């Protein structure tokens, strides 16, 4: 049987009345904003992808058609629609159709294979699985078939942009649905603390994790960014991050529509293609991981000139050494906002136009207006500024919890309402957060914990280095040996003697110095666009074995 989620009891312990009084909860849902924008400015562009576009008027009509299709397919309020699509405009249609019909919208990365898809289906037990038969020229029917065969419960796949002999196309589902009025289509639409979406991400155990958000939690974290960064309906937000990840979903798709602007979807990240799209559509805002900034730094002058209208780029999702950010701030035409983000809460810190420029280089920003951040020791006691500890966050953006296989939802906050990010960091006297490591990715050499973030900063400040990442090579005697993965400037070189001289000159403890170098020209990334340290370590090992 399809799973049904109609309420989120875990949110009942949050200070609802206080947050509503402060305007943080109780905002107009996204579907109403799109409806109202469609009525006021039907010809305004809402969504552009690499094959077409939708005005707000067209998007709202497509959302109503989609809601009609979901009802015709037998969907009931609270049932789940799993959407696994590339950066296509149809993703936005299904998102809004789900909201309008009272369905719970769920998404996962398009690059997942059959095993991960099957596990997502088992966790969610959706009514429909909206996906596609082909992505970037590669067929996906074998993956779909294998996932359905391995899944414990039956589910109907619906294919976007073409069907297959055995599965219906989205257009067929829409065409077969009976006509209903707009009032009937929106009768079950959600607001407030009604379940909105489930982001399905890779779990550390090999099984997916389902992060559940209500309308209020999602609306708050996006509106907080809109307000702090001064994003308006005039902005065109470029998105090359996958829509199947919260960073792209929240701060690309939802941010653009919530602000009344335009979202521009790029199917696969490539800086030259971004430049072409920017010239054609007047991009003003973009976002991405460290790899995007590194690639733009390495791109030619033509690419940079194409981005002259851009005024904001949000970098989050993984670490970027301060010297690289400083270089980007000088060489790229837009302001960079650093942010701490997670699927569980969107963004809780950022830098903005008023932030001291040094804080853009050496911090993840300061807390959003609605967010409290505590740095805690191992006993949970709050630490003073300058002390390293666990990063705990509290506020109206924190999700409702994790979906369990039995359909219950585990709360994610402690008795005081704080969520433990799993990151280590410290706050300075002005409230700016420096992320110093991650508890699950600690590197230890002997009895010493390696200051990975500091080591990456030092190495990235070398004049011959564009970017660096430190990975740990397991050693039976010492624990982890630090390996310096580096991308060099064109024509530059770097030897281990150079590294030792540089670290010695910076006064770094000898025990922390890298033990070897791995030169990187193309940074391996996972489905979300983050640099994948496991793949870097695997590449290093292969290179060593080949010597």
Number of domains into which the chain is organized: 3
pLDDT, tens digit (0-9, with 9 covering 90-100), for 391-415: 999 999 999 999 999 999 999 999 9
Does the pLDDT value for residue 83 go beyond 60?
yes
pLDDT, tens digit (0-9, with 9 covering 90-100), for 5-48: 999 999 999 999 999 999 999 999 999 999 999 999 999 999 99
Q: Are residues 274 and 420 in the same domain?
A: yes
User: Residue-wise over 211-232: b if at least 16 C-beta within 10 A, else e?
Assistant: bbbbbbbbbbbbbbbbebbebe
Judged by DSSP in three states, 353 sits in: coil
474 occurs within a structural domain = yes
**Interatomic CA distance for residues 132 and 140, integer angstroms:** 7
Q: Are residues 250 and 158 in the same domain?
A: no
**Interatomic CA distance for residues 320 and 466, integer angstroms:** 11
User: Residue-wise over 371-398: b if at least 16 C-beta within 10 A, else e?
Assistant: bebbbbeeeeeeeeeeebbbbbbbbbbb
pLDDT > 70: percent of the chain: 96
Q: Which residue has the higher pLDDT, 205 or 457?
A: 457
395 occurs within a structural domain = yes
Query: Looking at residues 373-378, what average pLDDT do you find?
Result: 94
| Closest to 251 in 3D by CA, of 528, 533, 532 | 528
Does the pLDDT value for residue 322 go beyond 90?
no
Does the pLDDT value for residue 531 go beyond 90?
no
**Interatomic CA distance for residues 505 and 497, integer angstroms:** 12
Q: Are residues 57 and 155 in the same domain?
A: yes
Residue 247 confidence class, pLDDT cut points 50, 70, 90: very high
pTM of the model: 0.84
Q: Are residues 433 and 451 in the same domain?
A: no
Residue 294 pLDDT: 87
Q: Are residues 303 and 421 in the same domain?
A: yes
Does the pLDDT value for residue 72 go beyond 80?
yes
pLDDT, tens digit (0-9, with 9 covering 90-100), for 207-235: 789 999 999 999 999 999 999 999 999 99
Judged by DSSP in three states, 472 sits in: strand
pLDDT, tens digit (0-9, with 9 covering 90-100), for 486-517: 999 999 999 999 999 999 888 777 778 999 99
**Interatomic CA distance for residues 393 and 345, integer angstroms:** 9
User: In which residue are the tokens 């941010």 written?
Assistant: 255
**Structure token digits, residue 233:** 């309906």
Residue 491 pLDDT: 93
CATH of the domain at 86: 3.40.50.980
Residue 147 pLDDT: 93
Q: Which string of DSSP letters, residue by residue, matches 505-547?
A: HTT--GGGS-SEEEE-SS--B-TTS-B-HHHHHHHHHHHHHH-
Does the pLDDT value for residue 420 go beyond 70?
yes
**Interatomic CA distance for residues 176 and 159, integer angstroms:** 15
| CB 464 within 8 Å of CB 492 | yes
Q: Are residues 427 and 539 in the same domain?
A: no
| CB 2 within 8 Å of CB 125 | yes
Domain containing 270 equals 223-400+416-438
14 occurs within a structural domain = no
User: In which residue are the tokens 């919890």 written?
Assistant: 401
Does the pLDDT value for residue 314 go beyond 90?
yes
CA angle 286, 290, 291 (to 5 degrees): 90
Q: Are residues 50 and 178 in the same domain?
A: yes
């Amino acid at each position: 049987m399809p799973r049904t989620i109609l309420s989120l009891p875990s949110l009942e312990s949050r200070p609802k009345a206080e947050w509503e009084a402060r305007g943080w909860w109780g905002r107009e849902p996204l579907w109403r904003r799109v409806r109202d924008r469609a009525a006021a400015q039907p010809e305004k562009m809402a969504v552009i992808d690499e094959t077409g576009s939708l005005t707000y008027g067209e998007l709202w009509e497509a959302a109503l058609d989609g809601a009609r299709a979901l009802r015709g397919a037998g969907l009931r309020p609270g049932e789940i629609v799993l959407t696994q699509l590339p950066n296509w405009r149809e993703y936005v249609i299904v998102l809004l159709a789900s909201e309008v019909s009272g369905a719970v919208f769920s998404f996962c990365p398009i690059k997942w294979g059959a095993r991960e898809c099957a596990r997502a289906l088992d966790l969610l037990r959706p009514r429909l699985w909206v996906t596609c038969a082909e992505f970037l020229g590669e067929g996906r029917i074998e993956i779909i078939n294998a996932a359905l065969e391995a899944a414990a419960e039956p589910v109907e796949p619906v294919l976007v942009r073409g069907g297959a002999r055995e599965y219906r196309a989205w257009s067929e589902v829409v065409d077969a649905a009976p006509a209903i009025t707009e009032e009937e289509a929106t009768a079950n639409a959600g607001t407030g603390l009604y379940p909105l979406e489930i982001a399905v991400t890779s779990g550390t155990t090999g099984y997916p994790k389902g992060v559940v958000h209500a309308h209020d939690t999602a609306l708050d974290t996006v509106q907080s960014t809109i307000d702090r960064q001064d994003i308006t309906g005039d902005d065109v937000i470029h998105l090359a991050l996958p829509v199947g990840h919260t960073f792209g979903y929240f701060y690309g798709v939802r941010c653009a529509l919530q602000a009344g602007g335009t979202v521009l979807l790029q199917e696969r990240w490539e800086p030259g293609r971004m430049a072409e799209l920017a010239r054609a559509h007047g991009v003003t805002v973009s976002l991405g991981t460290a790899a995007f900034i590194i690639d733009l730094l390495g791109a030619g002058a033509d690419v940079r000139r194409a981005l002259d209208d851009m005024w904001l780029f949000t970098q989050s999702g993984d670490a970027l050494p301060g010297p690289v950010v400083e270089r980007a701030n000088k060489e790229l035409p837009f302001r960079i906002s650093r942010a701490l983000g997670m699927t569980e809460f969107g963004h809780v810190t950022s830098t903005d136009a008023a932030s001291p420029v040094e804080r853009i280089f050496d911090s993840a920003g300061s807390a959003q207006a609605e967010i409290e951040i505590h740095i805690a020791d191992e006993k949970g006691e709050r630490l003073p500024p300058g002390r390293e500890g666990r990063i705990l966050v509290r506020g109206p953006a924190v999700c409702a919890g994790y979906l369990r296989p039995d359909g219950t939802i585990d709360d994610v906050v402690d008795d005081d309402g704080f969520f433990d990010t799993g990151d280590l960091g410290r706050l300075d006297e002005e409230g700016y957060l420096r992320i110093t490591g991650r508890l699950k990715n600690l590197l230890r050499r002997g009895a010493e914990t390696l200051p990975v973030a500091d080591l990456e900063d030092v190495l990235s400040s070398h004049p011959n280095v564009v970017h660096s990442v430190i990975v740990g090579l397991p050693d039976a005697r010492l624990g982890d040996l630090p390996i310096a993965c580096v991308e060099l400037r064109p024509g530059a070189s770097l030897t281990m003697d150079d590294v030792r001289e540089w670290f010695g000159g910076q006064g770094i403890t000898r025990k922390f110095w890298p033990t070897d170098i791995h030169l990187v020209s193309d940074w391996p990334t996972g489905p979300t666009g983050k640099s994948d340290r496991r793949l870097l370590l695997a590449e290093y090992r292969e290179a060593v074995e080949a010597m």
